[in-house]
Amino acid sequence: MQANNWLRELFEELKRRRVIRVATLYIIAFWPIIQIVDILSPTLGLPDSIIRYLVFAFIGGFPVMLILAWVFDIDRDGVHVTSREVRPGQEPALIGGNKELLIVGVLLLLVIGLFVVQWRMDEETVEIAVDPEPNIRSIAVLPFDSYSEDKKDQLFADGLTEELITVLSRVKELRVVARTSSFAYRGVSKNVIEIGKELDVSLILEGSVRRNDINDIIRVTAQLIETVRGSHLWTQTYDREYTDIFKIQDDIAASVVDKLEITLLGKDREKIQSRSSASPEAMVANSMGRAELARRTEVSLKDGIRFFKLAIRDDPNYAAAYAGLAETYALQVSYDYEPAEEVLPLAQEAVDRALAIRPDSGISHAVQGLIHMQTNRDEQAIEALEKAMRLNPSNAMAVMWYALLMKNQADRLVWYEKAYELDPRSPVVGYNVANIMLDQGREAEAMVVFAQIVEADPFYPRAYVLAARVNEQRGRLDEALNQYRTAYDLQPEIEYSASIAQLYIDLGDFESSQEWITRVSNKLPEQYRYRLDWLQIQFYMASDNMREAEPLLLNKVKLADKNGASRNTYLDAAWAAYLLDDIRGIIRAYGKAQVLETHSEHMINLDEGFYLEAGLAAAYAYKADGEHERKRQVIAKIKARFDEVSVPGKKVDPEIWYEKALLATIEGNNQMALIHLQRAVDEGWRQHWRARVEPIFKELINETSFRSMMAGLETRMSIMREQLTLAAAFDSDWPI
Provide DSSP, 619-631: HHHHHHTT-HHHH
Of the listed ranges 51-55, 458-462, 485-489, the least confidently predicted one is 51-55
- Structural domain for 46, as ranges: 2-123
> Does 93 score more than 50 pLDDT?
no
Give mean pLDDT, residues 19-45: 60
Sign of CA dihedral 193, 197, 202, 204: negative
Look at residue 94 and tell me whether its pLDDT is greater than 60: no
CATH of the domain at 266: 3.40.50.10070
**Within 10 Å of residue 223's Cβ, how many Cβ atoms?**
18
Residue 582 shares a structural domain with residue 708: yes
Residues 51 and 173 occupy one common structural domain: no
Residue 337 has pLDDT above 90, yes or no: no
Q: Does residue 374 lie in a domain region? A: no
Q: Where are the alpha helices (DSSP H) in 546-607?
A: 546-559, 567-579, 583-599
How many independent structural domains does the chain possess? 3
Alpha-carbon gap, residue 179 to 291, rounded angstroms = 9
Mean pLDDT value of segment 51-77: 68
Question: Domain boundary at 275, 298, 319, which?
Answer: 275
pLDDT band at 126 (very low <50, low <70, confident <90, very high): very low
Q: How many residues does the chain have?
A: 736
Q: What is the pLDDT of residues 363-394, one digit of tens each?
A: 999 999 999 999 989 999 999 999 999 988 88
Looking at the domain assignment, is residue 555 inside a domain?
Answer: no
Does 604 reside within a domain? yes
Q: How confident is the model at residue 506 (pLDDT cuts 50, 70, 90)?
A: very high
pLDDT at 267 exceeding the cut of 50: no
Residues 104 and 154 in one domain: no
pLDDT given for residue 634 in this prediction: 93
- Specify the pLDDT at position 294: 83
117 and 143 within one domain: no
Q: Judge contact between 242 and 216, C-beta under 8 A.
A: yes
Answer whether residue 488 shows pLDDT above 70.
Answer: yes
Q: Residue 24 pLDDT > 80, yes or no?
A: no
Say whether pLDDT at 495 is over 50.
yes
- Identify whether residues 688 and 588 lie together within a single domain: yes
- The answer to whether residues 102 and 186 belong to one domain is no
Is the pLDDT at 603 greater than 60, yes or no? no
pLDDT of amino acid 577:
94
Q: With 90 as the cut, is the pLDDT of residue 144 above it?
A: no
pTM above 0.85, yes or no: no
Confidence (pLDDT) at 702: 86
CATH number for the domain that contains residue 626: 1.25.40
| pLDDT score, position 266 | 40
CA distances from 656 to 564, 707, 716 (A): 31, 20, 21
Question: Is a pLDDT exceeding 90 seen at residue 728?
Answer: no
* For range 86-109, the mean pLDDT: 49
pLDDT(46) > 60: no
Instruction: Look at residue 668 and tell me if it is in a domain.
Output: yes
| Of residues 176 and 105, more confidently modeled | 176
Cα dihedral across residues 138, 423, 605, 620: positive or negative = positive
The region of weakest confidence among 51-60, 101-110, 497-506, 524-533 is 101-110
The pLDDT-based confidence of 259 (bands split at 50, 70, 90) is low
* Boundary-marking domain end, from 216, 245, 275: 275
Q: How far apart are the first and last CA of the chain?
A: 96
- Contact in structure between 363 and 397 (CB atoms under 8 Å): yes
pLDDT at 409 over 90: no
Q: What is the pLDDT of residue 607?
A: 45
Q: Where are the alpha helices (DSSP H) in 296-377?
A: 298-314, 319-334, 340-357, 362-374
Distances (CA, A) of 122 to 56, 60, 235, 585: 11, 15, 11, 83
- Does 605 score more than 50 pLDDT? no
Read off the pLDDT of each residue in 246-275 and give the average, rounded to a whole number: 57
Residue predicted with more confidence, 75 or 89? 75
pLDDT at 25: 63
Q: Are residues 153 and 119 in the same domain?
A: no
Give the max Cα distance, the chain.
134
124: confidence class by pLDDT, cuts 50, 70, 90 = very low
User: Are residues 214 and 238 both part of a single domain?
Assistant: yes
Calpha distance 530→528 (Å, rounded): 5
DSSP letter for 649, please.
T
Cα separation, 63 vs 467, whole angstroms: 68
Q: Tell me the CA distances in angstroms from 295 to 179, 286, 304, 463, 596, one per residue in order.
A: 12, 15, 10, 12, 39
Q: Are 576 and 707 contained in the same domain? A: yes
Q: Are residues 91 and 142 in the same domain?
A: no
Task: Give the CA angle between residues 386, 392, 395 to the nearest 5°.
Answer: 85
Query: Does any domain span residue 147?
Result: yes
Of 273 and 408, more confident? 408
Same domain, residue pair 109 and 182: no
Range picked from 61-75, 137-151, 382-396 for highest mean pLDDT: 382-396
What integer pLDDT is reported at residue 96 of this predicted model? 43
d(Cα 675, Cα 681) in Å, to the nearest integer?
A: 10
The pLDDT of residue 441 is above 50: yes
Q: Would 373 be classed as within a structural domain? A: no
- Residue 606 pLDDT greater than 50, yes or no: no
Considering the chain, what percentage of its residues have pLDDT values greater than 70?
A: 72
Q: What percent of the chain has pLDDT over 90?
A: 29
pLDDT band at 604 (very low <50, low <70, confident <90, very high): very low
- Cβ count near 565 (within 10 Å): 17
**pLDDT mean over 634-646:** 86
32-59 average pLDDT score = 60
Q: Is 73 helix (H, G, I), strand (E, B) or coil?
A: strand
The pLDDT of residue 21: 66
Are 142 and 258 found together in one domain? yes
Q: Is 526 exposed, middle or buried (0-12, 13-18, 19+ CB in 10 A)?
A: exposed
pLDDT at 171: 75
Q: Which amino acid is it at 424?
A: P
Q: Which of 24-28, 214-218, 346-350, 570-574 has the lowest mean pLDDT?
A: 24-28
| pLDDT attached to residue 611 | 75
Q: Which string of b and e fits 689-724 if b means at least 16 CB within 10 Å?
A: bbbebbbbbeebeeeeebeebbeebeebbeebbeeb
* Residue that terminates a domain, selected from 98, 123, 148: 123
Which range, of 56-65, 314-323, 615-624, 669-678, averages the lowest pLDDT? 56-65
Report the alpha-carbon distance of residue 249 to residue 216 in Å, rounded: 17
Is 672 among the domain residues? yes
Q: Nearest Cα to 374, choosing from 405, 406, 414, 418?
A: 405
51 inside domain: yes
Q: Which residue has the higher pLDDT, 112 or 589?
A: 589
